[in-house]
Copies of this chain bind each other. A is one copy, B any other.
């Protein structure tokens, strides 16, 4: 009888053994001993794709001795990374030369997005895009589609097929763009509503109402977006905010009755606790305070902000104690220059340095994991290894290249100080080569050739 039970357990449970790092609180506000959870030799036990148990191997092994265990020696397992701002249709136009925001949109973005009227093309790019995300260790993203509802359909279908926790939306834009790329307030509202009804909470998928930005949406469209958000209060609002100096000026001209850029959205009822604003490089103190009060989030996109010359985001202000704003990291591909959130933390560090601020490696990795989950109001679902959470995680090789191996002589850190240094080397030098494997709900979704695990029968 014992054998019988044991076999049933072996079917429903699985376990992973490695070093594990995640966060249980925010290292911007709490000392690392209270915010960082590190298990140098840990066991992560899953049931039906969720965390059933997590702790030191020595403690848990006796309890789960009969469970099939996959071992990743000399690796570091962290929660899947979370990209809080990215455009899937801009994949192919990454690294487009020579412009700042408004000219870059007209010259490169709009012509590229026009291709996504063709659903088959949108499907092809969605497949490629999600392959890139998984290869780079990103398991959840907040994603712009294009104005065409079928581009959002294509994305949701592919994300659904892969059982990914993704948030996306059809773009709303009814002016200041080419005729072939605009909707109307009414069609934008109706198309978004249909997509919400079909995809929001369909499996792991979620919907974001997605006005591109105040420049390309009339006040009428923003108000209808606000109406839709009021009708579906657990749906997201995802847009751009205060990225570029000329953009801020243009918004002031387009909305002379508003107090500022954020107020345009606020007036339309778009500033709430499910709202995620990309960039915020040019925000005023009053706008930071308003975002804090509204419990809205900012997606900090350093590679994009540098590439377009937008400026240096004031992360310390966003993470202030007095007016804390939720912050996640965004690659913002195609204005961002890499799909890698590790490379994004590299440039986040540099932005902080140029501002005379210090971004610790734990703070940076928090932004890419639990911080991103909090920015997306998903901290009860993903972002760390708490029991019950969905088991999206990635396996990193801290010694992925000869240079990283020299910089990090010991693959497994034995103290938080050593770990902080190891993670800093990972963020400064890591890229997709650092990601050995990506697991979605406990299932292997990507494995780098040559970086296999040891399967261990109990």
Query: For residue A309, which residues in chain B have a CB less than 8 angstroms away from its CB?
Result: 350, 352-356
- A361 near B97 with CB under 8 A, answer yes
Q: Does A131 contact B (CB under 8 A)?
A: yes
Contact of A91 among B337, B350, B406 (CB under 8 A): B406
Residues from chain B with Cβ under 8 Å of A311 in the complex: 354
Chain B residues positioned under 8 Å from A132 (CB to CB): 402-403
Interchain CA distance A98-B347 in the complex, whole Å: 14
Q: Is the CB of A350 within 8 A of B95?
A: no
- Residues 68-107 of A, flagged 1 when their CB comes within 8 A of B and 0 if not, give 0000000000000000000000011111011010000000
Q: Mark A176-220, 1 if CB is under 8 A from B, else 0.
A: 000000000000000000000000000000000000000000000
Taking a contact as CB atoms closer than 8 A, the residue among B95, B98, B306, B429 that contacts A337 in the complex is: B429
Instruction: Tell me the minimal C-beta distance from A62 to chain B in angstroms.
Output: 39
- Taking the closest CB of chain B, its distance from the CB of A85, in whole angstroms, is 18
A94/B403 in contact, CB under 8 A:
yes
List the B side residues contacting A95 at CB < 8 Å. 407, 424-425, 428-429
The CA of A327 and the CA of B210, in the complex, are separated in Å by 45
A311 to B354, CA, bound (A): 6
Assess the B307–A350 pair: CB atoms within 8 A.
Answer: yes
Does chain B have a CB within 8 A of A381? Answer: no
Are B353 and A306 in touch, CB under 8 angstroms? yes
A308 at the interface (CB under 8 A from B): yes
Inter-chain contacts of A420 with B (CB < 8 A): 97
Pairwise interchain contact B346-A406, C-beta atoms closer than 8 A:
no
- Count, chain A residues at interface, CB 8 A: 43
- Pair A428/B358 contact, Cβ less than 8 Å: no
The residue that A428 contacts in the complex, of B94, B361, B429, with Cβ under 8 A, is: B94
Q: Does A360 touch B at the CB level, under 8 Å?
A: yes
- Name the B residues within 8 Å of A100 (CB-CB): 353
Would you give the 0/1 interface string for A359-402, flagging 1 where the beta carbon is closer than 8 Å to chain B?
01100000000000000000000000000000000000000001
Most buried by B among A131, A349, A420: A349
Q: How far is the CB of A347 from chain B (nearest CB, A)?
A: 8
Copy tally for this chain in the complex stands at 2
Q: Whole-angstrom distance between the alpha carbons of A349 and B309 in the complex?
A: 9
Q: Say if the beta carbon of A266 comes within 8 Å of chain B.
A: no
In the bound assembly, the distance between CA atoms of A391 and B358 in angstroms comes to 44
A421 within 8 A of B: yes
CB-CB contacts below 8 Å: A291-331 with B: 306-309, 311-312
Residue on B nearest A423 in the bound complex, by CB: B97
Check B361 against A306 for contact (C-beta < 8 Å): no
Q: In the complex the two chains form, is A428's CB within 8 Å of B128's CB?
A: no
Query: Would A98 and B360 count as touching, CB distance under 8 A?
Result: yes
Interface check A155, CB cutoff 8 A: no
Residues of chain B lying within 8 A (CB to CB) of residue A439: none
A339 contacts B by Cβ under 8 Å: yes
Q: Which residue of B lies closest to A401 (CB)?
A: B432
A224 to chain B, nearest CB (A): 36
A109 to chain B, nearest CB (A): 15
A124 to chain B, nearest CB (A): 10
- Find chain B residues with CB under 8 A from A431 CB: 431
Which residue on B lies nearest to A95, using beta carbons?
Answer: B428
Complex-state Cα separation, A132 to B424, whole angstroms: 21
Bound-state CA distance A350–B312 (Å) is 12
Contacts A97-B421, A128-B402, A337-B429: A407 and B92 contacting too (C-beta < 8 A)? Answer: yes
Of the residues B128, B347, B350, B428, contact of A406 by C-beta under 8 Å = B128
What are 25 contact pairs spanning A and B, CB under 8 A?
A: A91-B403, A92-B406, A93-B407, A95-B407, A95-B425, A95-B428, A95-B429, A97-B360, A97-B420, A97-B421, A98-B358, A128-B406, A131-B402, A132-B403, A306-B350, A306-B353, A306-B354, A307-B350, A308-B353, A309-B352, A309-B356, A337-B346, A337-B429, A339-B403, A431-B431
Additional pairs, 13, CB under 8 Å, beyond known A132-B403, A306-B350, A309-B354: A92-B407, A94-B403, A94-B407, A94-B425, A95-B424, A97-B360, A98-B360, A128-B406, A306-B354, A309-B350, A309-B352, A309-B353, A338-B429
